[in-house]
Chains A and B, each alone.
Chain A
Amino acid sequence: MMNALYALVYMILAPFIGGLIAGIDRKITARMQGRVGPPILQPFYDVLKLFEKEKVVVTRSQNFYVLCYAVFMVFTGALFFSGGDILLVVFALTLSHIFLILGAYAANSPYSYIGAERELIQVMAFEPMIIIATIGMYMVTKLAIPKGSFYVSDIASMTIPLIAFLPGIFIGLVYVFTIKLRKSPFDLSTSHHAHQEIVQGVTTEFSGSTLGRIEIAHWYETVLLLGFVYLFFSWSPVIGIIAVLLTYLLEIFIDNNYPRVKWQMMMKSSWLIALVLGMVNLGLLYYVKGV
């Protein structure tokens, strides 16, 4: 019952929190660049405007794919916040991104093709690290629960700090979150700043309310990813929230300090980090802690 309530709270509040985070993000970014920056509510104005615009469609199916992307993103988050199986969360997250990629392919334009290819590469770069993270979390739950558990509710109710056992995995996860948050060194598939290179990548052919839906789905995703960060500190809610805020600040800092890299660099570095930090962390847990 409580779990369903958490899922419902997420479904209602996440777009507001996500939008607000995006607004604060843009403000801080502007201040870092010595600008005044847009109002904090700017992302909401943007999306509400998009819903006022004319609906231009290249292919009918593309809007259906985007709807699936949004629905599955909400589903993923609801699953996570209701304390569901974290492996299922990871797979549902991938599925929702696959729908976005299909939408971009359906639009049949060279720029959205490039965006779709790059989004695929991003999913590939992101995936190993997050799978290793779920395994790491499972191994730590073994310290408290004899058989271990993949359930978010069990991981979140751990009284021992996950971060103390999974520091390498945490750093690796923050590294690949830069990809998912579409932050600068890895904003390869779509970005306002890459328009001389790929126009808008994945979102090139989407306009009006469809683009609005992509934006809202991204807000849901932001809150979900921050939920992942919180799990590492869930033994103390205050420290958890501070850690989430600091992590996001770090992402903004990275966003403003590093230029976009080539996809080869993103792929190599994120797999290398997953392999080195992730696997070494898992190995140490296995040999030292014996889980």
Chain B
Amino acid sequence: MAYLKKSPWIIHYDASSCNGCDIEVLACLTPMYDVERFGIINTGNPKHADIFVITGSINEQNVEVVKNIYHQMPEPKAVVAVGICATSAGVFQECYNIKGGIDKVIPVDVYVPGCAARPESIIDGIVKALGILEKKKEEHKKKEEEAKRSTTPA
């Protein structure tokens, strides 16, 4: 059944952003946009989260942090890169401390452009990620079954 779609919990991480996109992500939780009506909860815990919403670009110091959060999330999971810095590092591309967009470190499923990204487009991006989550669930199931088949003798 498609319960993943009905209750996506997000974890939100601010890589090196100016905080603009960050504030827009939090704006989604306010009464104005109220993403909880879709069952979306902002958890602070990667182990409870289904969708990793990340703003800002990757710099040399947060590489490990981003990887760590991503690997702590249980399958199936999706990553949404919010804002132009997260998608491609934007105007900071040439900076000495910037590695680039989020996809330089972890696989990104949805790119939400904008500087700062509007709450409407962030919600749109998260809803898009829900479809991807469903697909990933199927893939994950297949993988698990294959792993089972290979370990149990025929």
- Shortest C-beta distance, B49 to chain A (Å), equals 9
- Shortest C-beta distance, B114 to chain A (Å), equals 24
**Which of A133-141, A157-165, A198-206 touches B?**
A198-206
Q: Which of B31, B39, B42, B45 contacts A46 (CB 8 A)?
A: B39
CB-CB under 8 A from A52, the residues of chain B are 1, 3-4, 137
CA distance A204 to B48 in the complex (A): 8
CB-CB under 8 A from A203, the residues of chain B are 45, 48
Chain B positions 22-46 with a Cβ under 8 Å from a chain A Cβ: 31, 34, 36-39, 41-45
| Total contacting residues, chain A, CB less than 8 A | 31
Secondary structure of the A contact surface, majority rule: loop
CB-CB under 8 A from A26, the residues of chain B are 36
The answer to whether B140 has its CB under 8 Å from any CB of chain A is yes
The answer to whether B135 has its CB under 8 Å from any CB of chain A is no
CA distance A204 to B6 in the complex (A): 22
- Chain B positions 81 through 93: 1 when the CB is less than 8 Å from some CB of chain A, otherwise 0: 0000000000000
CA distance A204 to B44 in the complex (A): 9
The answer to whether A207 has its CB under 8 Å from any CB of chain B is yes
Q: Which of A35, A49, A54, A199 contacts B44 (CB 8 A)?
A: A199
Chain A positions 1-31 with a Cβ under 8 Å from a chain B Cβ: 26, 30
- Chain A positions 179 through 219: 1 when the CB is less than 8 Å from some CB of chain B, otherwise 0: 00000000000001001100110011111100100000000
CA distance A192 to B42 in the complex (A): 8
Q: Which of A30, A35, A39, A204 contacts B47 (CB 8 A)?
A: A204
Among A30, A34, A36, A53: residue with most chain B CB under 10 A: A53
The answer to whether B119 has its CB under 8 Å from any CB of chain A is no
- Shortest C-beta distance, B127 to chain A (Å), equals 15
CA distance A39 to B7 in the complex (A): 11
CB-CB under 8 A from A39, the residues of chain B are 37, 39
CA distance A205 to B76 in the complex (A): 17
A-B contact pairs, 16 of them (CB 8 A): A30-B37, A35-B31, A39-B39, A42-B6, A45-B39, A49-B6, A49-B7, A49-B50, A53-B75, A53-B76, A54-B75, A195-B44, A196-B44, A199-B44, A200-B44, A211-B48
Q: List chain A positions with a Cβ less than 8 A from chain B.
A: 26, 30, 33-39, 42, 45-46, 48-49, 52-56, 192, 195-196, 199-200, 203-208, 211
User: 7 extra interchain contacts, Cβ-Cβ under 8 A, other than A35-B37, A38-B36, A45-B6?
Assistant: A48-B1, A49-B7, A49-B50, A56-B74, A200-B45, A203-B48, A204-B47
The 7 A-B residue pairs with the shortest CB-CB distance, nearest first, are: A195-B44, A54-B74, A45-B6, A54-B75, A49-B3, A207-B47, A48-B3
Q: List chain B positions with a Cβ less than 8 A from chain A.
A: 1, 3-4, 6-7, 9, 31, 34, 36-39, 41-45, 47-48, 50, 72, 74-76, 137, 140
